[in-house]
Amino acid sequence: MPRTLLEPRFQVEHLSILDSEGTLDTALEPKLAPDELRALWRAMLLGRRLDERMVRLQRQGRIGTFAPLKGQEASQIGSVAALRTTDWMVPSFRETAAMIWRGWPIERLLLFFAGYLEGGQPAPAQHDLPVTIPVATQLPHAVGLAYAAQYRGDDAVVMVYFGDGATSEGDFHEALNFAGVWQVPVVFVCQNNQWAISVPLKKQTHSRTLAQKAHAYGVPGLQVDGNDVLAVRVAAGEAVARARAGQGPTLLECITYRLGVHTTADDPTKYRSEEEVAAWERKDPLTRFRAYLEGRGLLEAGLEETLDAEIAEAVRRFEATPPADALAMFDHVYAEPPAHLVAQREELARRLAANPAAPPADSDAVPPDATPMRGQRLTRR
């Protein structure tokens, strides 16, 4: 019997509108209102300025380890801007900019990275999940949310974020398969920043792209210039509209780069070259979008100073937050707490009443060059 061609060779498209040289493809330029363009720029710049401030706070011992986002602002803001407030956003651990766009107060994010459980709690009406640290575990959760929306007849769309390293996990493939079979309204946003901590992309997959992995599950896959906020906005808008119309999931591979450390416990000089970083710095998403807006006369004077003041006020509120209620550790575990936990709670309550906590120490007392030792546990006093 002759061999029969069942599936013609698939194609993977790459979308770029505003390249790193500032060249604009006017035929593809989206017709975004000036107010939306300004909002995109403000959110990207706020993400960058906050990221830089958080690194200083961590080095001073005022927050714990976190994952900086520098270089990935366009991938996050261009995609999350396509959502409605009634849609769902599911982050991993680097989506600070996207979470601020969705309404997370800066001080709440700082609380989270200072070890406060309350910092990871979304507002009651907020359609977001909290930060997810284990790699790729949030992907099946996102598909479950999308399945629930589909089952209830909602028009909500779910957008879930992850990195290139997550595509090496079984959760990624399980989530893509489930989403494809059930055609649920979910948009997978892979921020391919080239490195899974110290493992380069070439050691994770032999595929030319990550977007093509979607085709195995009957899902559309598109690669987009992740440092081009216009291209990401267009691609995400199309994927969200398709999901909302009942046409199923999409995988977006945003080609970007982590300009900083993987986390503040990482030293990337051990595994990547200065030349590589410098090459990607020339593709900085903020640099090219600033030039685009300047050419259109849409830059707001003094915005950097305004954002720095906003961040400083959020840091003040964060450091003025009283200590967490220690008794809360007993809540939300059992519908009917067992007797031994009831006894432990009562004992702790008696001890707390007998020995009130001392007032928080002045944060300015922390030396500006105090860098935690490796493995040191950080607690905000």
What domain range is 340 assigned to? 327-356
338 and 192 within one domain: no
Q: What is the pLDDT, as a whole number, of residue 357? A: 61
* Backbone angles phi and psi of 337, in degrees to 5: -60, 140
**Cβ–Cβ < 8 Å for 92, 166:** yes
Contact 74, 224 (CB under 8 A): no
Residues 74 and 183 grouped into a single domain: yes
Amino acid at 320: A
Give 13-24 pLDDT, tens digit per residue: 999 999 998 899
CA distance 159 to 239: 10
d(CA 283, CA 293): 16
- Whether 158 is in a domain gets the answer yes
Residue 262 annotated in active site:
yes
- Total tally of structural domains belonging to the chain: 2
Catalytic site residue from 56, 84, 151, 271? 271
Using a 10 angstrom Cβ sphere, with 0-12 exposed, 13-18 middle and 19 or more buried, the burial of residue 155 is: middle
Is residue 200 domain-resident?
yes
CA distances from 299 to 31, 94, 197, 378 (A): 18, 27, 35, 39
DSSP H helical segments within the chain, as ranges?
A: 34-59, 73-80, 96-101, 106-113, 138-152, 170-182, 229-244, 274-281, 285-295, 303-319, 339-354
* Residue 238 within a domain: yes
- Are residues 344 and 276 part of one domain? no
CATH number, residue 224: 3.40.50.970
pLDDT (tens digit, 9 = 90+) per residue, 145-185? 999 999 999 999 999 999 999 999 999 999 999 999 999 99
Identify the active-site residue in 258, 288, 292, 380: 258
For 226: left if phi > 0, alpha if psi spans -120 to 50, otherwise beta; the answer is alpha
Q: How would you label 277-316 residue by residue, b for 16+ Cβ within 10 Å and e otherwise?
A: beebeebbbbebbbebbeeeeeeeeeeeeebeeebeebbe
CA–CA gap between residue 13 and residue 79 (Å, rounded): 17
146 with 177, same domain: the answer is yes
User: pLDDT averaged over consecutive 10-residue blocks of the chain (381 residues)?
Assistant: 81 96 95 98 98 98 97 98 98 98 97 92 95 97 98 97 98 98 98 97 96 97 98 98 98 98 97 98 97 96 98 98 88 92 96 74 41 39 34
Three-class HEC string of 200-227 = EHHHCCCCCCCHHHHHHHCCCEEEEECC
For residues 136 and 207, membership in a common domain is answered with yes
What secondary structure letter does DSSP report for 117? G
Residues 339 and 255 in one domain: no
282 labelled catalytic: no
Tell me what pLDDT residue 97 has: 98
For residues 108 and 219, state if they share a domain: yes
> Contact 219/179 with Cβ under 8 angstroms?
yes
Instruction: Check 102, 108, 262, 380 and give the catalytic one.
Output: 262
User: What is the pTM assigned to this prediction?
Assistant: 0.89
- In this structure, the answer to whether residues 288 and 164 fall within a common structural domain is yes
If asked whether residues 345 and 297 sit together in one domain, one would say: no
Whether residue 271 is found in the same domain as residue 334 = no
Asked if 251 and 343 sit in the same domain, the reply is no
* CA–CA–CA angle 231, 232, 236 (5° rounding): 120
For residue 161, indicate whether it is catalytic.
no
H-helix or E-strand spanning residue 255: strand 250-255
58-100 pLDDT, tens digit per residue, is: 999 999 999 999 999 999 999 999 999 999 999 999 999 999 9
151 in the same domain as 185: yes
- Residue 5 falls inside a structural domain: no
